Structure formats: C-alpha cells, structure tokens
Chain A
C-alpha cells in the first residue's frame, strides 16, 4: 500500500513538474496575464479609485464580489467549527489525555504578553487603515488583531480572556463584520449604483466618485477585519479547549 502511494505521488509530481515547464517564466512581460489583465489595473487603478496599492483596489473594488464571499467562507468556517466542537459542561466526556492542572501563572510570559499585545493591536489597526498605500488590509489586520487576543489567552488562560471577549459577542460580531461588507454593497443599490459599486456613495459622503470608491474600500476592509478577528479567536478558543471553552492550552 505504501509502495503504491509512493508510485502515485511520484508520478503525479513528475507530471506536475512537466506541466510547470509550459508555464510562462516568472515576471515574463509577454505572459497572458501581463498582456491582458494587469495592464488595465496598472493604468487605471489610481485614476479610478485613488488607491496606489493595486492589490487592495483589485481585491476590494474590482473583485469586491469575490472578497465578500471569501469573508463569508471564513465566517462559515468559524461557525462550523463552533457547531461541531462546542459542548457544554453537562455533556462533558472523559478527557482523551489527562492534563496537569495549571499551577499559577508565569510572570515572565504575562509581562511579555501585556507589552506585546497592545503593540500588535495598534499595528493591526495600522495595517487595516493603511492597506490603501502599503501591503496589508482587512484579512491581515484581522488576523493580527485576533492573534493578539490568542497571545493573551496563551499567557493567562482562556477563561480570563473569554470574560473580556464573550462567546456570544464573538458570534454576533463576526456576523456584523459580514453585514458591514454586504451593507455597504447594498446601500450602493439604494443610492442608484450597482451592488458593491462604491462610487454611488459620493452623494452621501460629499466627495467625488473616485474618493468615494476609496472610502468604500476602507469600510469594506473594516468589515473583513472584524469578521476575521473574531473568527480567528473563536477558532482558537474552540480548538484549544476541545469545545468546552474552559482553560485552553
């Protein structure tokens, strides 16, 4: 059986390597993607959206529909893990692996986490807000925000953090993040534009259509960041405590 899987994976690997030879070279200006698609965004992105980072403008504006469903995928993943793993203390089964009780708290770990966590959060907000001009955006910022709470949960224990970041609020807020994204898109419809066409916001915000697209992207990124942050924390809380939400790692 092992031999068979080795042969299969070697054959597949060899075929994939053969296929790679036909792909255009890295950074080849004559490759199909560079000829047809990229040029449009490189030439028009700043003019149409006033966002210098093309990646952000493609992700949140030109391909905003995709990003919306990516956010929903993350939301669904978090909710699914919650649904499968979460169980209350009443249904507690016996532990798979008896773990030693946590003896006191590590002073060095807590002191370090207390200094690092606020910096992570400020940096995450910067990543979200500055996604227009530099690499970053909602996903990365949300993950960093979520991991700052994971760091605190590792240094203290999960219960302490769950007192601050209640389980119920985690579920509600992750839904609100998706709602912010879809809401910004829906309001475009009522303002007379297409779905997720942020230039319709210009009359409400009192700015030009180009500026409105830039602001719309920021709003959308904030929605993504909220969802990702809460889902990341809820994933950690569920996985590390086996769905019991008691002490974590």
Chain B
C-alpha cells in the first residue's frame, strides 16, 4: 500500500489543533465530570492520530482503553469525590 502523508496534512493539522484544545480544556474546566468527558475526546483524537500514522494496533488500544474504559473510570471516580476542583 502506498501512503503519502503530505496529502493529508490539513487533516493532520486539524486533529493536532483539536488535541491541543482538548488537552488545555480538560485542565481548565472546574467541573471534574466535564474534564473527564473532554479527556475522553482527547483520547479519541489521539486514536485518530495513531490511525493516520498507520499504527493501527496502538490506535485500537487507545480507542478501547483511553477513550472507552478509562473515561468510565474517571466518571465513576468523579462522582464519589468533590465534584468541583479548587483551581
């Protein structure tokens, strides 16, 4: 299979931009549940990046563990502690 990554640089750029936005947003939100969901979105965007770099096995793991299960873990934990972060 031939693959020219330069054809897709706009796609790449968009994902990277959204990764940064999600990373900053996950840190900024005071509400932990919102943070957890945004962090899930971050993981999913990373999964897209891995796929785009043809690291499909890693992307699969990222989708299953990062975007899937760990978001549920974060949500489950956030419901049991104080919901709002101090800073």
Contacts and interface: CB of A to CB of B under 8 A. Distances in A.
Looking at B5, B65, B76, B79, the one whose CB has the most chain A CB atoms below 10 A away is B76
Contacts of B61: 139-140, 143
Contacts of B64: 139-140, 143-144, 147
A6 to B, nearest CB: 12
B52 to A, nearest CB: 10
Interface residues of A, dominant DSSP = helix
Looking at B73, B75, B82, the one whose CB has the most chain A CB atoms below 10 A away is B73
B72 A150 contact: yes
A27 B57 contact: no
A239 B73 contact: yes
A81 B59 CA distance: 27
B83 A235 contact: no
Interface in A5-61: 26-27, 53, 55-56
B69 A146 contact: yes
Interface residues of B, dominant DSSP = helix
Nearest to B82: A96
A2 B5 CA distance: 40
B80 A242 contact: yes
Given A136-B60, A249-B79, A147 B72 contact: yes
Interface of B: 5, 53, 56-57, 59-61, 64-65, 68-69, 72-73, 75-77, 79-83, 87
29 contacts: A27-B5, A55-B57, A96-B81, A97-B79, A135-B56, A136-B57, A137-B57, A139-B64, A139-B65, A140-B61, A140-B64, A143-B61, A143-B64, A143-B68, A144-B68, A146-B69, A147-B64, A147-B68, A147-B72, A150-B72, A232-B69, A236-B76, A239-B73, A239-B76, A239-B77, A239-B80, A240-B79, A240-B80, A249-B79
